[in-house]
C-alpha cells in the first residue's frame, strides 16, 4: 500500500519543464542517423545566417581562367562556366533558399493553424465553409497556383515564397482540424470542461499542446517540400535572377553544361537532396517518438 505521510512536508516541488524536455530529447540524440540529419540541417541554417563561416571564396568573383573545373581539393564542388567556386555558391545560396522555404512554411503554418483550429473547434457552418474553401485550394495543383500568384505579383524570391506558402496551407489546415477534432472528444478534455475550465483555457492548455505533435511533424516535412518547390520555381526562371546564388537557379544554370561538366548541375542538386532527406528523416523520427 502507498505510504501516507502524517504531516504535510514541503519536500515536494514541481519538477521543471526543462528537465522534462531534456529527458524527452535524450533518447533521440543517441540515434546516429538523427544526429547526422540534424547536423546537416543546422549547417544549412547556419549557412543561411552566416555563409562566410563555411566558405572562403566569394560566390560572385569570376575567374574565367578556372572555368568548368571538375571537383578538386581547392574547389570541392568544382567551378562553373565563369570560374566561380560552386561550393561557395551553394553555401551562399542557402540564404535565399532557406529564407524562401521558412517564409513559405511560416506563412502556411500561421494561416493553416488558424483555419484548422477555428474550423475544428467551432464546427457547424464555419467548419463547413472553411472545409469547402480548403477543398477548392486542394483542387488547384500547387505549382500552378504558385505560377498564378507569381504571374500576378511578379518574379523574385519573396513572391515565390508567398506562392509556395499559399499552396501548403490546405495541408496544415486539414491536419490541425483533424487533430483538434480528435483531441476535443478525449475524456480528459471533457473532464477539464466538467471541472469548470472555459473553452479558451481548455483549448490552450489541453487541445493545442496535444494536437501540436502531428502539425510539427508536418511542418518539418513541409520545409523540405518548400525547398523543393521554391527550387522548382527558380529552376523555371521565376525566382531569384542571376547572378544571385539560389539552389534552383544553380541547378538550372548547369543544365547547359550537362554533357561536358555534369557536376555544375548535379552537385548542387545532390546537396539539396541531402538537406531535404535530412528534414524528412527528422520528421519521421519525431513522429515515431510521439507514438
Q: Is the separation of the CB atoms in 75 and 85 below 8 Å?
A: yes
Minimum CB–partner distance for residue 53 and other proteins (Å): 25
Instruction: Single out the residue of 57, 77, 87, 238 in contact with other proteins (rule: CB under 8 A).
Output: 238
Q: Is the separation of the CB atoms in 239 and 246 below 8 Å?
A: yes
CA-CA distance, 231 to 224, in Å (whole number)?
A: 11
The residue among 57 and 150 lying less far from other proteins, judged by its C-beta, is 150
Residue matched to cell numbers 542557402: 94
The residue among 57 and 177 lying less far from other proteins, judged by its C-beta, is 177
CA-CA distance, 259 to 235, in Å (whole number)?
A: 19
Give the distance from CA 13 to its chain's centroid. 38
Q: Is the separation of the CB atoms in 154 and 161 below 8 Å?
A: no
CA-CA distance, 268 to 93, in Å (whole number)?
A: 10
By rule CB under 8 A, what count of residues binds other proteins? 78
- Enumerate residues 3-62 that contact other proteins by CB under 8 A: 3-5, 8-12, 14-15, 20
- Enumerate residues 67-86 that contact other proteins by CB under 8 A: none
CA-CA distance, 232 to 275, in Å (whole number)?
A: 15
Stretch that binds other proteins, among 49-57, 61-69, 94-102, 197-205 (CB under 8 A): 197-205
Q: Decide if residue 139 touches other proteins (CB under 8 A).
A: yes
- Enumerate residues 84-123 that contact other proteins by CB under 8 A: none
Stretch that binds other proteins, among 48-56, 60-68, 96-104, 131-139 (CB under 8 A): 131-139
Minimum CB–partner distance for residue 59 and other proteins (Å): 20
The residue among 62 and 280 lying less far from other proteins, judged by its C-beta, is 280
Minimum CB–partner distance for residue 48 and other proteins (Å): 18
Q: Decide if residue 181 touches other proteins (CB under 8 A).
A: no
Minimum CB–partner distance for residue 50 and other proteins (Å): 25
The residue among 73 and 291 lying less far from other proteins, judged by its C-beta, is 291
Task: For residue 160, list its beta bridge partners.
Answer: none
The residue among 8 and 65 lying less far from other proteins, judged by its C-beta, is 8
CB within 8 A of 62, min separation 6: which ones?
82, 83, 84
- Enumerate residues 267-286 that contact other proteins by CB under 8 A: 269, 272-273, 276-277, 279-281, 284
Please count the other Cβ atoms lying within 10 Å of the Cβ belonging to residue 11. Answer: 6
Q: Is the separation of the CB atoms in 261 and 66 below 8 Å?
A: no
**DSSP state at residue 196:** T
CB within 8 A of 198, min separation 6: which ones?
none
Minimum CB–partner distance for residue 81 and other proteins (Å): 16
Residues in the chain: 291
Minimum CB–partner distance for residue 201 and other proteins (Å): 7
Nearest residue to 149 (alpha-carbon basis) of 239, 61, 18, 235: 239
Instruction: Single out the residue of 95, 224, 226, 244 in contact with other proteins (rule: CB under 8 A).
Output: 224
Minimum CB–partner distance for residue 123 and other proteins (Å): 12
Instruction: Single out the residue of 47, 231, 240, 245 in contact with other proteins (rule: CB under 8 A).
Output: 231
CA-CA distance, 132 to 107, in Å (whole number)?
A: 20
Grid coordinates given for 189: 478534455
Minimum CB–partner distance for residue 223 and other proteins (Å): 12
Amino acid at each position: 500500500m502507498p505510504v501516507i505521510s502524517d504531516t504535510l512536508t514541503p519536500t515536494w516541488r514541481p519538477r521543471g519543464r526543462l528537465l522534462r524536455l531534456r529527458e524527452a530529447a535524450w533518447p533521440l540524440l543517441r540515434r546516429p542517423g538523427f544526429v547526422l540529419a540534424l547536423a546537416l540541417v543546422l549547417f544549412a541554417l547556419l549557412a543561411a545566417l552566416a555563409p562566410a563561416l563555411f566558405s572562403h571564396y566569394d560566390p560572385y568573383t569570376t575567374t574565367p581562367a578556372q572555368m568548368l573545373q571538375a571537383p578538386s581539393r581547392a574547389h570541392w564542388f568544382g567551378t562553373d562556366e565563369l570560374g566561380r567556386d560552386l561550393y561557395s555558391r551553394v553555401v551562399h545560396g542557402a540564404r535565399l533558399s532557406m529564407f524562401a522555404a521558412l517564409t513559405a512554411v511560416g506563412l502556411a503554418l500561421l494561416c493553416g493553424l488558424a483555419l484548422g483550429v477555428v474550423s475544428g473547434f467551432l464546427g457547424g457552418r464555419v467548419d463547413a465553409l472553411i472545409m469547402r474553401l480548403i477543398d477548392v485550394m486542394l483542387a488547384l495543383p500547387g505549382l500552378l497556383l504558385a505560377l498564378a500568384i507569381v504571374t500576378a505579383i511578379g518574379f523574385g524570391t519573396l513572391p515565390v515564397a508567398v506562392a509556395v506558402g499559399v499552396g501548403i496551407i490546405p495541408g496544415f489546415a486539414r491536419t490541425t482540424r483533424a487533430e483538434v477534432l480528435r483531441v476535443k472528444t478525449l475524456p480528459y478534455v471533457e473532464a477539464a470542461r466538467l471541472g469548470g475550465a472555459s473553452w479558451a483555457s481548455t483549448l490552450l492548455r489541453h487541445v493545442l499542446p496535444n494536437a501540436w505533435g502531428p502539425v510539427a511533424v508536418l511542418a518539418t516535412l513541409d520545409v523540405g517540400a518548400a525547398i523543393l518547390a521554391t527550387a522548382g520555381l527558380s529552376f523555371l526562371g521565376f525566382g531569384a535572377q542571376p547572378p544571385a546564388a539560389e539552389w534552383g537557379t544553380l541547378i538550372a544554370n548547369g543544365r547547359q553544361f550537362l554533357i561536358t561538366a555534369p557536376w555544375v548541375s548535379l552537385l548542387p542538386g545532390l546537396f539539396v537532396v541531402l538537406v531535404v532527406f535530412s528534414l524528412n528523416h527528422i520528421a519521421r523520427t519525431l513522429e515515431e517518438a510521439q507514438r
